[in-house]
Chains A and B, each alone.
Chain A
Amino acid sequence: MNPHELARARPGEAFTATFDGRPVTALPGQTVAAALWAAGVRAWRSTRGTGRPRGVFCGIGVCFDCLVTVNGKADQRACLVPVRPGDEIRTQEGTGRDDGRGAGR
């Protein structure tokens, strides 16, 4: 049994996004966090102080641990942001302002 069988889900057509340049298959309706979990990825941020890996913790938008860079925009909560076809998801380093394209775009 898996969750899709359990809920008898018939999702829309899968599409591709990328995580740190690698293709990741995602489904419409999924958040960035859900797509990454489904792809076996658990961490997509390294902390500002000690550079430790982090991913989803609270899953409902309270804790801000799952911050991620999506299409060059840093500090997105992966558990809230829907994934879209072609999204470039990247591991957020530190504050997200030093990892290439900055937070402001």
Chain B
Amino acid sequence: MTGRAHLAVVGAGPAGLAGALSAAARGVRVTLIDAAGQAGGQFYRQPAPALGARRPEALHHQWRTWRRLADGLARHIAAGRITHLTDHHVWCVQRESDSFTVHALLGPAQEQGVTVRADAVLLATGGYERVLPFPGWTLPGVVTAGGAQAMLKGALVLPGRTAVVAGTGPLLLPVATGLAAAGTRVAALVESAGPTAVLRRAPDLAAHPAKLAEGAWYAALLLRHGVRTLSRHTVLEAHGTDRLTAVTVAALDRTGRIRPGSGRRISCDTLAVGHGMLPHTDLAEALGCTLAGTDVRVDGEQRTDVRGVWAAGETTGIGGAALALAEGHIAGRSAAARLHGTVPDPRAWAAAARVRTRLRAFFAALETVYAPPAGWAERIPDDTVVCRCEEVTAGPVRTAARSLGATDLRTAKLLTRAGMGWCQGRMCAPAVAALTGCPLTAGRRPFARPVPLGVLANLPDDDTAEQ
């Protein structure tokens, strides 16, 4: 190991890149560790190089920002200031007195372990999509909205010929327009939030002209692609025997209840559905970082309450790429100063801090606009699968709370197996929480992903595996 301070950055999306670049520019040796084959995260997910995309920007927004990040990363890598470990799936970060060990699994097979030692860690692990269950949501052809977009951006494939994009949240707009631009017929964009909810928060939202312009731009794109928008509507059911053939959508009244007789069936082979996002917090939880609700809690410097651990981007709360960039920038500067043994001057990142304040307020307002419709949990029939991995239906989950007295997610899981499968409850936790009335709490998983026993058995107890 060289004498230079060493920061491990987990995640190469906007927050991790901004953090890595600003720390490296200030004399810190950075190891950027990411599960993907290329930097960018989900927002800047790149087509695989072998696909030879000569115009990848056609699938993206804010391409100039990406070019700046990518060029900066390439320069720092060439200068030996940043080591970029791709295809490294981090499953645990351990703290040992004044240093950290980052444990990762290598490559798609994920059977070989790698460890990285560092003086400090920046967690930039992003978020994943929340999808609330409804009858038929396990049918092939039903995908998450972000999943459809990821497959399009990364692999240049479309989920099907005719899609309905449904749920709630701003992500539905780029997904619907992206699929339409790439050749899918988007039969409808179904958004459960209504125009009045947006108007109620108009003062908060109007403070962000750039975001409003973005909204208007999407509206124009939807019009151009002939995408019908059904606001204050929700998906009631996905139809099909072995694959999706249609969905039934219905109108919601002002209180979020279904308007009787408003159901209509739309033929489609794809339903891209999402109800907002949740932060990835497993690594922070295992390190003992305090969470506020479902978000990693950070101070003005993006420090968690565990010494030497910073967090930035959607792991600290869902807020999009621009907020992630601002937070990553601040985290990298703070970490560099602290690793050099100095106290950073927040005036050095005043502009980024202003962006952070504004965007946090904006996304707090959006969250109230794009809340799932009232009563969605009560509408789920007892025989609807809730936990996709363990095939647990809503009935037993309700029974766990009503008759068996489960008052927390862990007890509900032990009584029903909901959340005990491969995904460890990431997909079903919000629904189980709503069905049982238990608070949606952190998962407290010791490992962020399944780890082969052989990797655990062979964990190094000396420095031989140090990078």
Knowing A1-B181, A37-B158, say if A8 contacts B55 (CB, 8 Å): yes
Knowing A6-B59, A57-B147, A58-B147, say if A42 contacts B141 (CB, 8 Å): yes
- Alpha-carbon distance between A12 and B131 when the two chains are bound, in angstroms: 36
In chain B between 38 and 57, which residues have their CB closer than 8 angstroms to a CB of chain A? 42, 47-56
Q: Which residue of A lies closest to B422 (CB)?
A: A64
Knowing A54-B140, A64-B389, say if A7 contacts B56 (CB, 8 Å): yes
Contact partner, B128, options A52, A62, A67, A81, Cβ 8 Å: A62
B425 to chain A, nearest CB (A): 11
Contact with A along B232-257 (1 / 0, CB 8 A): 00000000001100000000000000
A101 to chain B, nearest CB (A): 16
> Is there contact, CB below 8 Å, between A59 and B50?
no
Contact partner, B159, options A37, A53, A81, Cβ 8 Å: A37
Counting contact residues on chain A (CB < 8 A from B), the size range is 35 or more
Q: Is B388 an interface residue (CB 8 A)?
A: yes
In chain A between 49 and 100, which residues have their CB closer than 8 angstroms to a CB of chain B? 49-50, 52-65, 67, 76-77, 79-82
- Alpha-carbon distance between A81 and B129 when the two chains are bound, in angstroms: 21
Q: Is A24 an interface residue (CB 8 A)?
A: no
Q: How many residues on the B side are at the interface (Cβ–Cβ under 8 A)?
A: 53
- Alpha-carbon distance between A48 and B388 when the two chains are bound, in angstroms: 11
A70 to chain B, nearest CB (A): 10
Interface with A: B148-156, B317-325, B340-348, B398-406, which one?
A: B148-156
Q: Is B58 an interface residue (CB 8 A)?
A: yes
In chain B between 114 and 173, which residues have their CB closer than 8 angstroms to a CB of chain A? 128-129, 138-144, 146-152, 154-160
Q: Which residue of B lies closest to A44 (CB)?
A: B140
Knowing A34-B151, A56-B143, A56-B147, say if A3 contacts B182 (CB, 8 Å): yes
Contact partner, A81, options B59, B108, B146, B182, Cβ 8 Å: B108
> Is there contact, CB below 8 Å, between A12 and B388?
no
Knowing A2-B183, A53-B242, say if A10 contacts B144 (CB, 8 Å): no
Contact with B along A22-53 (1 / 0, CB 8 A): 00000111110110011000110001111011
> Is there contact, CB below 8 Å, between B150 and A60?
yes
Q: Is A21 an interface residue (CB 8 A)?
A: no
- Alpha-carbon distance between A77 and B230 when the two chains are bound, in angstroms: 34
Q: Is B35 an interface residue (CB 8 A)?
A: yes
Contact partner, B138, options A27, A54, A58, Cβ 8 Å: A54
Q: Is B366 an interface residue (CB 8 A)?
A: no
Q: Which of A8, A48, A58, A64 has the most CB of B within 10 A?
A: A58
A2 to chain B, nearest CB (A): 5
In chain B between 382 and 438, which residues have their CB closer than 8 angstroms to a CB of chain A? 388-391, 421-423, 426-427
- Alpha-carbon distance between A7 and B182 when the two chains are bound, in angstroms: 9
Q: Which residue of A lies closest to B59 (CB)?
A: A7
Knowing A61-B35, A62-B426, say if A6 contacts B140 (CB, 8 Å): no
Q: B147 contacts which chain A residues (CB < 8 A)?
A: 56-60, 79
Q: Is A105 an interface residue (CB 8 A)?
A: no
> Is there contact, CB below 8 Å, between A9 and B427?
no
> Is there contact, CB below 8 Å, between A59 and B148?
yes
Knowing A31-B155, A42-B140, say if A57 contacts B50 (CB, 8 Å): no
Knowing A30-B155, A56-B151, A58-B146, say if A63 contacts B423 (CB, 8 Å): yes
Q: B140 contacts which chain A residues (CB < 8 A)?
A: 42-43, 53-55
- Alpha-carbon distance between A31 and B142 when the two chains are bound, in angstroms: 19
Q: Which residue of B lies closest to A10 (CB)?
A: B52
> Is there contact, CB below 8 Å, between B54 and A37?
no
Q: A62 contacts which chain B residues (CB < 8 A)?
A: 128, 423, 426-427
Contact partner, A64, options B47, B48, B160, B421, Cβ 8 Å: B421
- Alpha-carbon distance between A80 and B151 when the two chains are bound, in angstroms: 11
- Alpha-carbon distance between A48 and B139 when the two chains are bound, in angstroms: 15
B residues with a Cβ closer than 8 A to A are 35, 42, 47-56, 58-59, 108-109, 128-129, 138-144, 146-152, 154-160, 181-183, 242-243, 388-391, 421-423, 426-427
Given contacts A29-B50, A37-B157, A50-B391, 13 further A-B contacts (CB under 8 A): A3-B158, A6-B55, A11-B50, A11-B51, A12-B51, A37-B155, A43-B242, A53-B242, A57-B143, A58-B129, A59-B150, A59-B151, A79-B151
